[in-house]
Chains A and B, each alone.
Chain A
Amino acid sequence: MTNLTVNLKEKIGFGALFLATMAVVVPVLCIIWLIVTRGWSAISWEFLFTMPRDGMRAGGIFPAIVGTFYLVLGSVAFSLPVGVMAAIYLNEYAKDNFLTRMINLAIINLSGVSSVVYGLFGLSLFVVFFRFGVSIISGSLTLGIMTLPVIITTTREALRAVPKPFREVSFSLGTTRWQTIRHAVLPFALPGILTGAILSIGRAAGETAPILFTVAAFYLPNLPNSPFDQAMALPYHLYIISTQIPNIRLDYRYGTALVLVGFVLIMNISAIVVRSKFRKKRW
């Protein structure tokens, strides 16, 4: 009798946990299914690699793909080195004092700031104050600042996961702190750092609000050819063709969404692959 009750409780508990897990997975699968079924028919060579025509009702989304590519590249070029260096400082050098605690608090808060605030911040700092104008460089820096907390946090986790004896042994072999970080810590934290970088790429590619005022163009007849040019970008393009342009074919919208989601998904999956591949040959 008691055994039965225990078993029943076990089953109910298990069921509840399973349902909660499904509540996470099902919406994701639904979104992907919806986008793929409705957008797949739009995907073609022309769609991916030509300029838009007829007021963006025909042709391709090539400039938006190129723009997003530039923005991602620019934001990672900024946030990866800065974020990794900040994480190294915080994890390896900073003493546990008031300043450090304030910095930690700031990082946590930064990751909670809504993305439109980053957009406004980028507008006032990069576009207006630094006079970069509405440009790829302004948008990249804004996205870079937005993804900094992701990179800092994942890098710190990766540094923390390096077993303590590695540092101790390295010191005992007569190395300086930096040599130890360089040779006994960073190589083993690298997969974790890469994971953070890839995740931040996904985030930077998908955000609309931060690029709204800093880089995104409604329509450009030519591809950008300098960092100080405006650019089109996938998420903003999707927003425009969904809300601003009447009578556009449905599969054009879903096709654009598919390209964007596909890009982010590929990034996230490769982050997982990188991590598990390196973890296999771990200590």
Chain B
Amino acid sequence: MKNAKINVSKFNFYYGDSRVLKDITIDIPENRVTGIIGPSGCGKSTFLRSLNRMNDVILGSRAEGSVMLDGRDIYGRDVDVAGLRRKVGMVFQKSNPFPKSVFENVAYGLRIDGIKDKYFIEERVERSLRDAALWSEVKDRLRDNAFELSGGQQQRLCIARALAIEPEILLMDEPASALDPTATLKIEELIQELKKKYTIIIVTHNMQQAARVSDLTAFFMLGELVEYDITSIIFTKPSKKLTEDYITGRFG
């Protein structure tokens, strides 16, 4: 694939003895939204979390094969995992702000980086909040505790926090599954904006959502990549029977 940001090839992932990802080979294009769908336990979250090595912390986990990001294997020796995660940001299923102010949540990554320049931090926080479509709602509440925001605002705050360290890729693990329809819509609109700047990979349980937001869709089942294509093709004329059965709701 041209302009592939990530090339995954023959990737296997194990928790102890169980093989949860089987020979995954997939190219993920730059500045596109790639949706990952599949029934519970199909390995879609594990796959997402292998792209920034968030699975590393799990005891007894093991990866095989390669994940090339801009042509460099992120599982290679001497890879700076913290540096990788600065490049590959992540938004989780449940919004999870720190019990700090709105401002300090977004500034977290910068402060840890040792940045002291007040104006730089203020500027970056504002830009991140604007990019996350939250600025107009919180610009007068920057000193409030993040927990005082609504659920949807908290999730966009988490997106802003991830954006503040200027990643190139944004991994989203069912980012709207805990939100009401209005908040979900806002997140989906936001994703359309964000793909201009970032490469986005989104795991979702909700097939309508995948159809709405993603340019390409990958269907995972039982740890295998069943089918991967342009979203409209996956949802209108999938080439595999299994995919068709899943998207028409025959199981899952």
Taking CB as reference atom, which chain A residue is nearest B90?
A: A172
Say if the beta carbon of B1 comes within 8 Å of chain A. no
Q: Are A171 and B85 in contact (CB under 8 A)?
A: yes
Q: Are B108 and A281 in contact (CB under 8 A)?
A: no
Q: Are B92 and A168 in contact (CB under 8 A)?
A: yes
| B83: A residues at CB distance < 8 A | 174
**8 A Cβ contacts from A264-278 to B:** none
Say if the beta carbon of A161 comes within 8 Å of chain B. no
Q: Are B92 and A281 in contact (CB under 8 A)?
A: no
The 8 A CB mask of A170-199 against B (1 = contact, 0 = none) is 111111100100011000100000000000
A179 and B54 alpha carbons, distance in the complex (Å): 16
Please give the number of chain A residues whose Cβ is less than 8 angstroms from any Cβ of chain B in the complex.
21
A96 and B59 alpha carbons, distance in the complex (Å): 10
Q: Are A179 and B57 in contact (CB under 8 A)?
A: no
B172 to chain A, nearest CB (A): 12
Q: Are A165 and B99 in contact (CB under 8 A)?
A: no
A155 and B99 alpha carbons, distance in the complex (Å): 20
Say if the beta carbon of A129 comes within 8 Å of chain B. no
Picked from A165, A174, A176, the residue with its CB within 8 Å of the CB of B109 is A174
Picked from B54, B89, B162, B165, the residue with its CB within 8 Å of the CB of A168 is B54
Say if the beta carbon of A18 comes within 8 Å of chain B. no
Q: Which of A95, A169, A170 has the most CB of B within 10 A?
A: A169
| B89: A residues at CB distance < 8 A | 172-173
Q: Which of B59, B94, B96, B145 has the most CB of A within 10 A?
A: B96
Taking CB as reference atom, which chain A residue is nearest B86?
A: A174
Taking CB as reference atom, which chain A residue is nearest B145?
A: A281
A283 and B89 alpha carbons, distance in the complex (Å): 24
Picked from A96, A165, A183, A283, the residue with its CB within 8 Å of the CB of B111 is A183
| A168: B residues at CB distance < 8 A | 54, 92, 96
Majority-rule SS of B interface residues: helix
A166 and B87 alpha carbons, distance in the complex (Å): 19
| A174: B residues at CB distance < 8 A | 82-87, 109, 165
Picked from A96, A165, A183, A283, the residue with its CB within 8 Å of the CB of B108 is A183
**8 A Cβ contacts from A110-156 to B:** none
B54 to chain A, nearest CB (A): 6
| B156: A residues at CB distance < 8 A | none
Taking CB as reference atom, which chain A residue is nearest B114?
A: A179
Say if the beta carbon of B120 comes within 8 Å of chain A. no
Q: Are B82 and A172 in contact (CB under 8 A)?
A: no
Nearest 10 Cβ contacts at the A-B interface: A174-B86, A165-B96, A174-B85, A172-B90, A173-B109, A174-B82, A283-B99, A179-B112, A176-B82, A175-B112
18 further A-B pairs in the complex, CB-CB below 8 A; given A165-B94, A183-B112, A283-B147? A166-B96, A168-B54, A168-B96, A169-B98, A169-B158, A169-B161, A172-B89, A173-B85, A173-B86, A173-B165, A174-B83, A174-B85, A174-B86, A174-B87, A179-B112, A188-B99, A281-B99, A283-B99
Residues of A whose CB lies within 8 Å of any CB of B are 95-96, 163, 165-166, 168-176, 179, 183-184, 188, 281-283
What are 10 A-B contacts defined by CB distance under 8 Å?
Answer: A163-B96, A172-B89, A172-B162, A173-B108, A174-B84, A174-B86, A174-B87, A174-B109, A184-B98, A184-B108
